[in-house]
């Protein structure tokens, strides 16, 4: 018997099928658009680890102007002191580049004699600085982070109490002070933390990512140790509370 001849394709039926598929795809995208965007967008995390390279001992250089006896001309003299730098590790675990990421120090609390933490009213909330800025006078406040990549953000520093920087009149000369690396140094010196136990509330966000909250507890007894292991064990403690 002769084979059945092929049936002609109905153009109208093809158009209807294509339209139906396109409509179905549009409905699926509309229903799951938010989930798709959430799946692709940046996801920021922040951690603090009391070890190198996040936290490490480093030399600090202090330049002073001096006028020699019998001279009218000032000259610069640079001295080196030991110090410790403490950094946060900010990572993008999402599938999209995080744009204009900022780490915002929102609130500071101090532990009082009764054991309660109360907000430090004079603390000025502002951004922390990204580490390794090319120009210290123009610190990086906003930074982009690619997917599966990270960047260090400076939390603060402690300098040998012998150094003539980061000092407060009410703090004994042999005790340490934590210098928070805020985007500017307030004239009120609220970025300098004397020995105590603090809780620092951070907010980390980006132009295209929802902010995340992080709370750090900082224990600062005020003791100085030249040995890094001893310093990180007894001289300062930084831990995540959430």
Give which of 108, 144, 109, 103 is closest to 127, Cα–Cα: 103
Q: What is the pTM of this model?
A: 0.80
Tokens of 87: 């950094």
Confidence band for 17, pLDDT divided at 50, 70 and 90 = low
35 against 177, higher pLDDT: 177
Tokens of 92: 């993008």
Average pLDDT of the residues of the chain = 87
Q: What is the largest distance, in Å, between two alpha-carbon atoms of the chain? A: 125
CB of 166 closer than 8 Å to CB of 189? no
Query: In the chain, what are the domain boundaries?
Result: 44-240
**pLDDT for the residue 23:** 73
**pLDDT for the residue 114:** 96
Angle at 103 between CA 101 and CA 107, to 5 degrees: 150
CB of 165 closer than 8 Å to CB of 159? yes
SS (H, E, C) 195-219: CEEEEEEEEEEECCEEEEEEEEEEE
35 against 111, higher pLDDT: 111
35 against 222, higher pLDDT: 222
| CA–CA dist 234, 95 (Å, integer) | 40
Q: What is the CA radius of gyration of the chain?
A: 28
Angle at 217 between CA 211 and CA 223, to 5 degrees: 140
| CA–CA dist 56, 152 (Å, integer) | 13
pLDDT tops 70 at residue 24: no
135 against 37, higher pLDDT: 135
Query: What is the residue whose two structure tokens read 């930074």?
Result: 143
Confidence band for 36, pLDDT divided at 50, 70 and 90 = very low
What does the pLDDT look like over 121-155, one tens digit per residue?
A: 999 999 999 998 767 677 889 999 999 999 999 99
Residue 87: beta bridge partners? 154
How does DSSP classify residue 165?
S
Pairing of strands 192-193, 178-180: antiparallel
**pLDDT for the residue 138:** 77
14: which residues sit within 8 A by CB, 6+ positions away? Answer: none
Give which of 153, 216, 217, 154 is closest to 181, Cα–Cα: 154
């Amino acid at each position: 018997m002769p084979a059945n001849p092929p049936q002609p394709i109905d153009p109208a039926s093809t158009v209807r099928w294509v339209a139906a598929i396109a409509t179905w795809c549009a409905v699926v995208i509309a229903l799951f658009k938010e989930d798709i965007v959430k799946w692709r967008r940046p996801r920021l995390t922040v951690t603090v680890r009391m070890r190198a390279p996040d936290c490490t001992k480093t030399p600090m250089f202090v330049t002073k102007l001096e006028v020699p006896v019998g001279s009218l001309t000032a000259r610069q003299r640079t001295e080196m002191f030991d110090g410790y730098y403490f950094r946060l590790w900010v990572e993008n675990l999402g599938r999209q580049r995080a744009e204009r990421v900022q780490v915002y120090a929102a609130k500071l609390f101090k532990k009082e004699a009764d054991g309660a933490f109360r907000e430090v009213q004079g603390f000025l909330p502002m951004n922390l600085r990204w580490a390794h800025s090319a120009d210290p006078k123009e610190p990086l406040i906003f930074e982009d982070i690619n997917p599966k990549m990270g960047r260090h953000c400076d939390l603060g520093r402690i300098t040998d109490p012998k150094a003539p920087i980061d000092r407060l009149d009410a703090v004994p000369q042999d005790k340490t002070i934590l210098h928070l690396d805020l985007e500017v140094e307030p004239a009120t010196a609220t970025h300098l933390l004397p020995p105590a136990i603090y809780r620092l509330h951070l907010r980390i966000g980006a132009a295209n990512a929802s902010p995340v909250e992080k709370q750090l507890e900082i224990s600062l007894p005020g003791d100085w140790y030249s040995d890094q292991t001893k310093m990180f064990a007894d001289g300062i403690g930084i831990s995540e509370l959430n």
